[in-house]
Structure 1
């Protein structure tokens, strides 16, 4: 017996997901969307931080109410195991034999102390694929440093670059590296699956989330390593495009501010915009940069009497990149996202219904839909222990008495 198999291109792939918060669970969520069977293994003693981060159903904080946890864990099965307990470690080893992939995000060395690291698990299953995803990787002088994606953004050099040159760094919103890092990990896992399918060989993937996210700064880093200047904060300024900024526009009723982003990439685009705002049309990009303050003031004056939607429509029709800055409310009601069915409603045994983001990629012939909401704490313990491992009721009772499950 085993768990019901998913549908999609990854149907039949079996994953044990020990990761937590956002960066790691997002990888398992993506694979579950496309048919993989993912068992989310949680500690009953240490609550996943994502479970206590909002937004919450009914604005009521609680470990079963988090929208964040629900979003990054939809489609998974839930099992609680206290891996400090030897009996839980033995259950985990048995599940490893069942699995194709193990994903984890413990601080480097923790699993080795329990003999649950890749070097030990591959003895049980040589073809095992394992992803260890931490802030700075499994080795090196800082491998014991732990933290959140906001620290990862700082370590990657991204925090320092967001903001204005005469002000303190503003940093990108939220735990930034939690969002690009899973995309690198997902690609690596799919490549590892392909390698295993062709050769029968297992693979260990050591992902350093901050280091991987530095790839987004690769041109600036390579330029500096080759003798170029260090990149500095410059607000919305762009060396190739001018004007390039965010401008206030007419504020809709019920709101306190509204903004629109405008980027002019060519002289022809500038000539079109200049005609609209009443500026000199023949200026080159170098001349526009010299007169940037005056140009920004002219755009601000023009935009003040127009809605962001009208500005967006007017400039886009003229071939100029422009878009109003969407609020959370705007994004939730965006017609493009609605057309692509980005937000999915799933039945939920506690809340009646919950909303999660849809799969990240739409396939040509295979409809993709999260199979179930994120698991409640230990929701599928009995099902997994019985149907995957074949344990009897008495076996499960002894396991529970050992403290392995709670």
Structure 2
């Protein structure tokens, strides 16, 4: 794909000013930009977003999280920088920030001030603990929100301390809820003409995913704990060994288990009182898993998957990046795309989701260079002259 400025996506015609850094806010900006919103990312002159330096190999996180965005440099700590933000706010639909609560107020960029400039403005605020409450001003990274929201306690094996799941899921969930809130606020604005503030807290985004853990405690006194690879009392549903790697099989529904038993060459298991019902299988979960594992380890993984597909039993291998690149379903749905990049020959990354039939999103360019769009935004959008920009740069403002 080559870079394009042509309008695309369901959010074309909207403009978002992205302030903040790392992931909790910027992933919201990525989601909006993926679907056509013009996202102007404001970065500190000289250093930019620390995400530019993140990633296990060649700093490859930035090209994804900053894709489709325009980068401008601006010192928000200086009065001149704050004044330029206010000029941009007058022509924006959204302001997105994920600083510690109170920072925007300290800079005179609080919502009341910005709304006075633009009553239709929607301000999206992402933080560890939200904008109110006794913890609001505490530093709160994604890991802390995951712990407070209850997810960390459930991640991993019961024999080990709580685990990180391998992704910054708390940050990404908060950003996803921030996006959802922004679009709700946009719909409200279309009906009323009024903007509003969206307050997305990491711990609350995690809490929203916690299923019935709270009523299980308040009503029944049950506290859910780590269970490793199994869903307690739901069987068979686990990762099972083969000659060349584990395969996930989910055959816990009665009708599916009957098909699974037939695939095993053991149709009598579906009528055996020990395994014939959901409750019976759940009560003998470990016993049933051991029986199945003895059978699955005689197969190569792909042969087992083919057999499961033949009998209509949900199953799948545990994908890593090489599997994703080679998989025919990924390829048929264009789940991965190759994007032009100045340093890499066609940079692979995940595509835009969800897929919209009439107004699909797209990846037009990877994360930009620091300040790459200064002239376009300050000169074009705000009408600053070359002399104005030179003076701002000399003063360390841009």
Shared fold, TM over 0.5: yes
Question: 1:79 pairs with 72, 75, 80, which one?
Answer: 72
Query: Are 1:5 and 1:35, in contact at CA under 8 Å, matched by a contact in 2?
Result: no
Query: Are 1:161 and 1:171, in contact at CA under 8 Å, matched by a contact in 2?
Result: no
Moved more, 271-280 or 146-155: 271-280
* 1:57-88: CA deviation from partner (whole Å, max 9, x where unpaired): xxx4xxxxx32111111111110111112211
Moved more, 141-150 or 194-203: 141-150
Query: Are 1:220 and 1:231, in contact at CA under 8 Å, matched by a contact in 2?
Result: yes
Between the aligned partners of 2:261 and 2:8, the Cα distance in structure 1 is 54
* 1:130-166: CA deviation from partner (whole Å, max 9, x where unpaired): 0000111111111123243222211211011122333
1:264 aligns with 2:251: yes
Question: 1:206 pairs with 187, 199, 203, which one?
Answer: 199
SS of structure 1 residue aligned to 2:298: coil
Between the aligned partners of 1:115 and 1:22, the Cα distance in structure 2 is 24
Between the aligned partners of 1:135 and 1:404, the Cα distance in structure 2 is 29
Between the aligned partners of 2:221 and 2:46, the Cα distance in structure 1 is 50
Structure 1 residue 269 displacement after superposition: 2.6
- TM norm structure 2: 0.91
Match of 2:87 in 1: 94
Match of 1:292 in 2: 285
SS of structure 2 residue aligned to 1:207: strand
Moved more, 387-396 or 322-331: 322-331
Match of 2:52 in 1: 51
Question: 2:269 pairs with 280, 290, 308, which one?
Answer: 280
Between the aligned partners of 1:247 and 1:53, the Cα distance in structure 2 is 35
1:109 aligns with 2:102: yes
Between the aligned partners of 1:97 and 1:355, the Cα distance in structure 2 is 37
SS of structure 1 residue aligned to 2:209: helix
Structure 1 residue 352 displacement after superposition: 4.7
- TM norm structure 1: 0.89
Given the superposition, is the C-alpha separation of residues 7 and 292 from structure 1 closer, same or farther in structure 2, using an over 3 Å criterion? closer
Query: Are 2:26 and 2:66, in contact at CA under 8 Å, matched by a contact in 1?
Result: yes
Question: 1:231 pairs with 216, 219, 224, which one?
Answer: 224
* 1:102-150: CA deviation from partner (whole Å, max 9, x where unpaired): 0000000011101012121111112111000011111111112324322
Structure 1 residue 310 displacement after superposition: 2.1
Between the aligned partners of 1:228 and 1:277, the Cα distance in structure 2 is 42
Between the aligned partners of 1:344 and 1:286, the Cα distance in structure 2 is 44
| Number of aligned positions between the proteins | 389
Query: Are 2:48 and 2:73, in contact at CA under 8 Å, matched by a contact in 1?
Result: no
Query: Are 2:125 and 2:178, in contact at CA under 8 Å, matched by a contact in 1?
Result: no
Structure 1 residue 46 displacement after superposition: 5.1
Between the aligned partners of 2:33 and 2:19, the Cα distance in structure 1 is 14
Moved more, 108-117 or 40-49: 40-49
Query: Are 1:21 and 1:69, in contact at CA under 8 Å, matched by a contact in 2?
Result: no
Alignment RMSD: 2.1
1:357 aligns with 2:346: no
Unaligned runs of 5+ in 1: 61-65, 252-257
Match of 1:15 in 2: 16
Given the superposition, is the C-alpha separation of residues 144 and 111 from structure 1 closer, same or farther in structure 2, using an over 3 Å criterion? same
Residues 1-400 of structure 1: matches in 2 within 5 Å? 6-44=7-45, 47-56=48-57, 60=58, 66-251=59-244, 258-275=245-262, 276=264, 278=266, 280-281=269-270, 282=272, 283=275, 284-400=277-393
Between the aligned partners of 1:32 and 1:347, the Cα distance in structure 2 is 17
Between the aligned partners of 1:159 and 1:277, the Cα distance in structure 2 is 40
Between the aligned partners of 2:5 and 2:232, the Cα distance in structure 1 is 54
Between the aligned partners of 1:333 and 1:19, the Cα distance in structure 2 is 36
Match of 1:254 in 2: none
Between the aligned partners of 1:236 and 1:346, the Cα distance in structure 2 is 36
Match of 1:255 in 2: none
